[in-house]
Amino acid sequence: MALTKEQIRQIAEQTKNSLASGGSGGYAGGAAQCLFDDVNDAIETAIRAQQRLAEMTLEDRSKLVEAMRVCARAHAEELAILAHEETGYGKVQHKIAKNLLAANKTPGVEDLHPTAYSGDDGLTLVETAPYGVIGSITPSTNPTATVINNSISMIAAGNAVVYNPHPAAKRASQRAMELLNQAIVDAGGPNGLITAPKEPTMDTSAVLMSHKAIKMLAVTGGEAVVAVAMKSGKKCVAAGPGNPPVIVDDTANIPDAAKKIVDGASFENNILCVAEKECFMVASIADELMSQMQRNGAWRVYGEDIDKIVRTVLIQKDGKYVINRKFVGHDATYILRESGVQFTGDPVLVIAEVDRCHPFVEVEMLMPVLGCVRVANFDEALSEAFRAEHGCQHSALIHSTNVHNMSRAARKMNTTIFVKNAPSYSGLGFGGEGYTTLTIATPTGEGLTSARSFTRARRCVLKGDFRII
């Protein structure tokens, strides 16, 4: 699967040309338009498309979903390259894996289940109905996988979606939208189930959040966008930030835990919201754990080198540390080099033993730098992990063979995703059981979203008749 630099350049060039000419990405079907100068036109087109979708059968809808899957698979590599080129975040091979995961493991129409109540008073049916048109704000960290994932979920549920992608990942996100919209048209669906403004801004985002015809918002990003969307007065599915701690107790298989932590924390250079962001290690196994992590591709830094990295990748603002966006999702080697830290080889992760209140623990780093904290025992690991998660209720992990410890941690952490003895991405159905999503709705409680998260319940009551017993 490895591509040469020249192949990557050529694919990126072709994609740029296609976007510049408003091209359809090579699909042969009818005219499809997904991007609009005026966000209001994007919304109007989506309204008409959703009305047409509502007239189609569930079987037709399934065909549209299948067409989106086929298209996303065919373009997984191109979209990964484009996203990497545009944002500089993560790794092309990992982005391909995320795109394929979204294409293959996002549930479709089968996710919708009607409920029936039958009794002396007759029959009551509760159906999962579409909201209509959804306004979706997408992140720079998963720009194409989120579009694939949300589009499948939302359209499987019978909705249309108007996106406002992150301006820093606009080209890649819009390319994914255009391809999927065209694939729907080619499969006999209406044009405009997926639309977006050509120039997504805070203003276009504000239009989406206040437009009367947008019945639901689905926002993915940091605290700011979640807060704004939740104040909109609309039904909102908010996929917010996390700061997932990983606990390693003294019963864990240490070589196995070390490898899995490095794999999870280095995947996509740690831009996934579910990725291990800090590690709490029981003192008796701490030295072995860190040396095993080094054997698996981590580079350990000490003393002044830790301070150099802090000064490089973090900025002090209003008495708090925030990340310097220049280093988000960048390679460990880039971070070490820019920080002036000597290293050898090609490490994929930087690890540092730090104090429990260190910024590597407190801040959602979104880069391959993992603060590791030595604690006296499991109880202390758990209370520190709980504190470091900052109440996001997003994700947490443990490596242990003590079932009691695993259960206590899962209960106390109270997170949407809790992973035991595996890398964090297993929680997304990647090497773990279950479907996938890139939209983990933590503050609003839908959890790992799927088609049914984008539906509203409608009840229909028939008195007396229709019972067969």
Between 224 and 468, CB nearer to ligand NAD: 224
DSSP reduced 3-state for 429:
coil
End-to-end CA distance of the chain: 59
For residue 88, which phi and psi values (nearest 5 degrees)? 75, 5
Q: What would the DSSP string read from start to end of 1-60?
A: ----HHHHHHHHHHHHHHHHTT--SS--SS----EESSHHHHHHHHHHHHHHHHHS-HHH
Between 52 and 105, CB nearer to ligand NAD: 105
Stretches 11-19, 106-114, 215-223, 295-303: which one binds ligand NAD (CB under 6 A)? Answer: 215-223
Q: What part of residues 352-371 is at the interface with ligand NAD (CB under 6 A)?
A: 364
Beta carbon of residue 323, minimum distance to ligand NAD (angstroms, whole number): 9
Is the separation of the CB atoms in 17 and 160 below 8 Å?
A: no
Q: What part of residues 183-202 is at the interface with ligand NAD (CB under 6 A)?
A: 202
Instruction: Tell whether residue 468 is a contact of ligand NAD (CB under 6 A).
Output: no
d(CA 159, CA 454): 8
- For tokens 């209001």, what's the residue? 40
Between 185 and 228, CB nearer to ligand NAD: 228
Beta carbon of residue 217, minimum distance to ligand NAD (angstroms, whole number): 10
Q: What part of residues 232-291 is at the interface with ligand NAD (CB under 6 A)?
A: 239-242, 273
Q: What part of residues 428-467 is at the interface with ligand NAD (CB under 6 A)?
A: 438-440, 442
CA distances from 34 to 23, 30, 180 (A): 11, 13, 9
CB under 8 Å to 294, separation ≥6 — which residues?
A: 300, 351
Beta carbon of residue 31, minimum distance to ligand NAD (angstroms, whole number): 28
- Residue 220: which H helix or E strand, with range? strand 214-220
Instruction: Tell whether residue 400 is a contact of ligand NAD (CB under 6 A).
Output: no
Is the separation of the CB atoms in 362 and 330 below 8 Å?
A: no
Question: Pattern of binders to ligand NAD over 16-55, x per CB under 6 A?
Answer: ----------------------------------------
Beta carbon of residue 223, minimum distance to ligand NAD (angstroms, whole number): 7
Instruction: Tell whether residue 204 is a contact of ligand NAD (CB under 6 A).
Output: no
Beta carbon of residue 450, minimum distance to ligand NAD (angstroms, whole number): 13
Between 24 and 150, CB nearer to ligand NAD: 150
CA distances from 5 to 11, 12, 81, 269 (A): 10, 11, 11, 20
Q: At what angle do helices 332-339 and 303-313 cross, to 10 degrees?
A: 100
Stretches 62-70, 96-104, 223-231, 401-409: which one binds ligand NAD (CB under 6 A)? Answer: 223-231
Question: Pattern of binders to ligand NAD over 146-185, x per CB under 6 A?
Answer: -------------------xxx------------------
CA distances from 394 to 78, 106, 272 (A): 30, 20, 12
Residue nearest to ligand NAD as judged by C-beta position? 221
Q: At what angle do helices 39-55 and 202-210 cross, to 10 degrees?
A: 40
**Which residue ranges make up the site for ligand NAD (CB under 6 A)?**
137-142, 165-167, 202, 205, 220-222, 224-225, 228, 239-242, 273, 364, 438-440, 442
